[in-house]
Amino acid sequence: MKPFLATLQGTVQKTPPFWFMRQAGRYLPEYRELRAKAGGFLNMVFNPDMAVEVTLQPLRRFNMDAAILFSDILVIPHALNQNVSFTAGEGPKLNPLRCEADLSLLSKDRFDEILEPVYETVRGIRKNMIREKFSDTALIGFAGAPWTVACYMVEGGGSRDFINIKNWIYTDPEGFSKLIDIVVEATICYLKKQIEAGAEAIQIFDSWSGVLDEKQFRRWVIDPTHRITQNLKKTYPDIPIIGFPRGAGPLYRDYVQKTGITAISIDSQIPTEWAVENLQTQQSVQMSIQGNLDPACLLAGGDMLRETAENIMATFSGKPFIFNLGHGIIKETPPEHVEQLVSVIRRGVS
């Protein structure tokens, strides 16, 4: 079995398998060159040949144990007929939804048709991984969690205070729940199609889960994620599902216990010893943990990178563990620093 998939099942590896969030991206010169030719981010996402190429670029350099589909969490609102655009240096822009009445603007009529290029990309990645002899490398499919996707749909892009979506959940929670229901249903469909096309594991990114209080976290993060995992497992009982509720703090524990995920990805603010004690050894079966190097440490490189990576691996030594970052690679990161980290991981802990 591929080391990454075996670890998700609870097998302890001599050296941890690894991959990095945003490993296919702007820190690689070959990515920047291809994006310049594409003429836009979504052009790359919906061009299977380009998306396959971008997915494979980091594997050729660093031979990770897992590849992750090159796409974006906002393809779901795009496929639901919400206008989504990406402007260089500004991030995503969407026409915001601010109340229940705005939900009439969404449509599922062309959902599968719009997303078919993504599924073609998944099939193409699997085919090319075989051709390029990445036989031990697993393929991860992914989606944004309903809460995080809804944040973009309501705020119209990124936000510092999330005041519009918070106003909605506090003043009209039942109306907002209808938006969450739409996104949950769409996410289940999207992930099932990725699995059918060849994804071997799934990661659910909840990048903005940390902006909610405990009660709202349970309703808008835990409950929708549980609905997704339960539905996927009815059809694909053996598919591993990694949850990543970034910024959840101590609520990571409830997330692990109540969502039905297979493995948990932790952000850089979670102490590794706390994660072992509260997320891993508290379970009836030791859960695989993924994480959690600070991307800024990777950006810096040098002795601090080596020492920090070694300390993380030492904490999880003898336990099912996947080395990753606590968030995505920073675009200014020199590829040489990634090479350094890969070398440290492969040496393991003496």
Using a 10 angstrom Cβ sphere, with 0-12 exposed, 13-18 middle and 19 or more buried, the burial of residue 37 is exposed
Q: What is the pLDDT of residues 291-313, one digit of tens each?
A: 999 999 999 999 999 999 999 99
Task: Please state the separation of Cα 101 from the chain's center in Å.
Answer: 30
Positive or negative, the CA dihedral 320, 13, 347, 54 is negative
| High-pLDDT (> 90) share of the chain, % | 95
Over 80: is that where the pLDDT of 340 sits? yes
* Residue type present at position 228: I
The rounded mean pLDDT for the chain is 96
For the segment 176-188, the average pLDDT, to the nearest whole number, is 98
For the segment 224-244, the average pLDDT, to the nearest whole number, is 98
Q: What is the pLDDT of residues 268-283, one digit of tens each?
A: 999 999 999 999 987 6
What's the half-sphere exposure (Cβ side, CA atoms, 13 Å) at 33? 5
Instruction: Give the active site residue among 26, 98, 123, 219.
Output: 26
Q: How far is CA 223 from CA 35, 79, 135, 257, in A?
A: 37, 23, 36, 12
Over 70: is that where the pLDDT of 218 sits? yes
Residue 26 appears among annotated catalytic residues: yes
Select from 284, 282, 219, 279 the least CA-distant residue to 249: 279
**Number of CB atoms found within 10 A of residue 324's CB:** 26
Instruction: Look up tokens 């009439």; give the residue.
Output: 104
| Amino acid 349: pLDDT | 76
pLDDT tier, 164 (very low <50, low <70, confident <90, very high otherwise):
very high
| Amino acid 350: pLDDT | 66
pLDDT tier, 348 (very low <50, low <70, confident <90, very high otherwise):
confident
Residue 347 appears among annotated catalytic residues: no
For the segment 201-212, the average pLDDT, to the nearest whole number, is 98
Instruction: Give the active site residue among 27, 35, 190, 206.
Output: 35
Instruction: Look up tokens 């085919």; give the residue.
Output: 127
Residues 6 or more apart whose Cβ sits within 8 Å of residue 50:
34, 38, 43, 44
What is the second-level CATH architecture of the domain 24-292? Alpha-Beta Barrel (3.20)
Quote the CA–CA distance of 263 and 289 in Å, as a whole number. Answer: 6
* Residue type present at position 101: A
Instruction: Give the active site residue among 27, 31, 119, 152.
Output: 152
Over 80: is that where the pLDDT of 11 sits? yes
Quote the CA–CA distance of 70 and 117 in Å, as a whole number. Answer: 11
Quote the CA–CA distance of 252 and 32 in Å, as a whole number. Answer: 35
* Residue type present at position 338: V
Instruction: Give the active site residue among 61, 72, 123, 254.
Output: 72
Q: Residue 162: enclosing H or E segment and its boundaries?
A: none
Residue 61 appears among annotated catalytic residues: no
Domain ranges of the chain: 24-292
Residue 152 appears among annotated catalytic residues: yes
Residues 66, 27, 125, 265: what is their CA dihedral angle, to the nearest 10 degrees? Answer: 30
* Residue type present at position 114: I
| Amino acid 89: pLDDT | 75
| Amino acid 285: pLDDT | 73
| Amino acid 87: pLDDT | 81
Residue 47, SS3 per DSSP: coil
| High-pLDDT (> 70) share of the chain, % | 99
Task: Please state the separation of Cα 161 from the chain's center in Å.
Answer: 22
Over 90: is that where the pLDDT of 193 sits? yes
Residue 346 appears among annotated catalytic residues: no
Over 90: is that where the pLDDT of 91 sits? no
Q: At residue 286, what are phi and psi to the nearest 5 degrees?
A: -55, 120
Whether the CB-CB separation of 280 and 314 falls below 8 Å is answered with no
Alpha-helical (H) ranges within the chain are 3-8, 29-38, 41-45, 48-62, 75-79, 111-131, 146-155, 163-171, 173-197, 214-217, 223-235, 252-259, 272-275, 295-300, 302-315, 335-347
Q: What is the pLDDT of residues 100-142, one digit of tens each?
A: 999 999 999 999 999 999 999 999 999 999 999 999 999 999 9
| Amino acid 90: pLDDT | 79
